[in-house]
Amino acid sequence: MPLVAVIPEPNALVELRDVPNPELEQNSALLDVELSEVCGTDVYLQRGLLEGVPYPLVPGHVSVGRLSKIRGTLPDVEGRPFREGDRITFLDVHRTCNACWYCLVAKATTRCPQRKVYGITYGLDDGLCGGWAQQIYLKPGTRCIRLDADPETFMVGGCALPTALHAVERGDLAIGDTVLVLGSGPVGINAIILALMRGALKVLCIGAPQHRLEAAWQAGASDVLNFEERSEAQRRDWVLERTNGRGADVTMEATGAPDAVVQAMRFTRDAGRVVIVGQYTDHGPMSEDVAFNPHLDLNKKHLDVRGCWGSDFSHFYRAAQIVSDSGRSQAWELLKRKLTRFGLNQANEALAEVSEGRVLKALIEPAAKESVPSA
Ligand SMILES: [Zn+2]
Ligand SMILES: [Zn+2]
């Protein structure tokens, strides 16, 4: 009987439950979870802010573990079969259909209406489908990825790593670009690392609080600014001073604050590019005193503004590849010191820490001794 941590309904505390062992369908598997993550999305899930979420829900969409049982065959993307005992991660998105208009014509599987996500749109009624659990049931068709890296190195990036990889791809960075990252949470930090890897000359970061800006330095930012101490005009001046008065070539918004979207546009040079990745959850409209001016903020600047929502298999696959490479994985190795681990029955604490921004990355470790239900 695997133990799971469940959000019973919106705005309720997480509780522990024992659930029956699942029956394995043909070509499915069971994963013994080593590490799963706690991210901003989980905070919003607990508050009931995401649409189409079936409660009760076991959160944890990105996880790492070892395959403990396979029924039938489970091949990787190269066609090599997985064996019991292999360490893997898997694409949290399941059941994109490869048959609808979005899958086939737009080639944007993140918009497939059949799309289901482990730990977000699969609830407890769908089986063991979240990572805050001793085991996850990997349904037939789940895209598993072999992980040669140390699990912590992959999980220090967590879901933010493929998300940021997608954002950098959307930003279409050129070698030598000056990139501005708004936000110093996990997506922002990963965006800094990946922008440099993609050839940015320098990356500026505006964020908060201080301990996250230190992570931005560690990730390779050439300059950081704490936005809490500055007005919008001061922040803009700070960017202009570092870009020969022009603004950033590419800006990636990774804040979760609607007002940052128009700031991203104002801090970018004319004919530059803006990627909006920080609005995965609906945070509502900009505040009324942020008067977006279509002529000045967008059209006359000749800006290219791109949305970036979710990630697909290619982003997970590339993420697993780079963190498994000893040369490329160094930034994440350094950031491992910033990880905070919680047992299953500390999930409420973990959510509070993430919600307050007190930790850079919180992980759930179901094998920790704190995972035993307190009698
Ligand atoms: Zn589809
Ligand atoms: Zn996440």
Give the Å distance between the CA of 350 and the centre of ligand 1.
34
Contact 192, 176 (CB under 8 A): no
- The residue with tokens 């706690």 is 38
Give the Å distance between the CA of 38 and the centre of ligand 2.
7
Per-residue model confidence (pLDDT) at position 200: 98
Per-residue model confidence (pLDDT) at position 191: 98
Give the Å distance between the CA of 303 and the centre of ligand 2.
29
Phi, psi of 79 (to 5 degrees): 90, 0
Q: Which ligand is nearest to the CA of 155?
A: 2
- The pTM for the full model equals 0.94
Q: CA 4, CA 364: separation in Å to the nearest integer?
A: 11
- Amino acid, single-letter form, for residue 168: V
* Average per-residue pLDDT for the chain: 95
Half-sphere exposure of 157 (CA within 13 A, CB side): 32
Q: Which ligand is nearest to the CA of 157?
A: 2
What's the angle, vertex CA 45, arms to CA 211 and CA 108, rounded to 5?
95
- Amino acid, single-letter form, for residue 298: L
- In this structure, the number of other CB atoms found within 10 A of the CB of residue 141 comes to 10
Give the Å distance between the CA of 58 and the centre of ligand 1.
25
3 state SS of 194: helix
Give the Å distance between the CA of 239 and the centre of ligand 2.
29
User: 76-132, pLDDT tens digit by residue?
Assistant: 999 999 999 999 999 999 999 999 999 999 999 989 999 999 999 999 999 999 999
Give the Å distance between the CA of 135 and the centre of ligand 2.
18
Per-residue model confidence (pLDDT) at position 110: 87
Mean pLDDT of 227-231: 92
Give the Å distance between the CA of 102 and the centre of ligand 2.
23
Give the Å distance between the CA of 28 and the centre of ligand 1.
21
**Parallel, antiparallel or unpaired: strands 361-364 and 339-342:** parallel
Nearest to 130 by CA among 277, 14, 282, 256: 14
Mean pLDDT of 288-317: 95
User: 10-25, pLDDT tens digit by residue?
Assistant: 999 999 999 999 999 9
Answer yes or no: is pLDDT of 240 > 80.
yes
Please, which pLDDT band fits residue 373 given cuts at 50, 70 and 90?
low
Give the Å distance between the CA of 36 and the centre of ligand 2.
10
What's the angle, vertex CA 191, arms to CA 188 and CA 196, rounded to 5?
135
Per-residue model confidence (pLDDT) at position 116: 95
Q: Which ligand is nearest to the CA of 105?
A: 1
User: 122-171, pLDDT tens digit by residue?
Assistant: 999 999 999 999 999 999 999 999 998 899 999 999 999 999 999 999 99
Per-residue model confidence (pLDDT) at position 229: 82
Phi, psi of 171 (to 5 degrees): -75, -15
Give the Å distance between the CA of 369 and the centre of ligand 2.
24
Contact 158, 327 (CB under 8 A): no
Phi, psi of 33 (to 5 degrees): -75, 125
Handedness of CA 313, 212, 287, 304 (dihedral sign): negative
- In this structure, the number of other CB atoms found within 10 A of the CB of residue 292 comes to 14
Q: What is the DSSP letter of 15?
A: E
